[in-house]
Structure 1
């Protein structure tokens, strides 16, 4: 009986940890540069896909998102990510995201942050 209770406790603890990492649990108020874990992990995985799948690259990619988080608020980062994804769409919607001046200005800010992150981390 003790074993099964302990087993349930371990599974519940693991489930809570996974939910917290995935951002499924409600969060309290966060600062502008406090990116959700899910966004940081998504960035690191994309960075590793582009640069290599080893531990050193993971460290560099983690450093990179930390630098970006210091330079631009999460709201701006999220907007830039949305623009990047929408630019890939076909049709009028994609054209709008590729040609709008205000969106291009946001992208320039994001690219500057990425360049600074590359200089510091890679």
Structure 2
């Protein structure tokens, strides 16, 4: 491999989804803000409040836990036997409660 090919490969290896220092990729933040705005209003002010909310959540909940909560929420909404396993898991209820408390605190600060 030539020197320039190694350099290009090294550059390409670093390309991926943009992430803040807290590990939350930009796409996750945008997804949260869009959902928040859909529920609360499509205004510039609401965008700022929703962005503040995800920033607060990201400051208190590691991204891997956020992914687990979001995945569980989607799974619990699905019909069938597989989803019932997710509905009954005690550890998942604890994680969802932790998320709910963080989200309430974020809403109190941002809204």
TM range (shorter): 0.7 to 0.9
Q: What residue number does 1:72 align with? A: 61
| Aligned pair partner of 1:98 in 87, 92, 107 | 87
The TM-score, its normalising length taken from structure 1, stands at: 0.74
Once residues 59 and 28 of structure 1 are traced to their aligned partners in structure 2, the CA distance between those partners, rounded to angstroms, is 20
Shift of 1:101: 0.4
Once residues 87 and 97 of structure 2 are traced to their aligned partners in structure 1, the CA distance between those partners, rounded to angstroms, is 13
Q: What residue number does 2:10 align with? A: none
| 1:29–1:89 distance in 2 versus 1, CA, 3 Å | closer
Runs of 4+ with >3 A deviation: 27-31
Unaligned runs of 5+ in 2: 1-14
| 1:63–1:29 distance in 2 versus 1, CA, 3 Å | closer
The TM-score, its normalising length taken from structure 2, stands at: 0.81
| Aligned pair partner of 2:75 in 58, 83, 86 | 86
Q: What residue number does 2:47 align with? A: 58
| 1:107–1:41 distance in 2 versus 1, CA, 3 Å | same
The CA RMSD over aligned residues, in Å, is: 1.7
| Aligned pair partner of 1:46 in 6, 31, 35 | 35
Unaligned runs of 5+ in 1: 1-24
Number of residue pairs aligned between Structure 1 and Structure 2: 97
1:114 aligns with 2:109: no
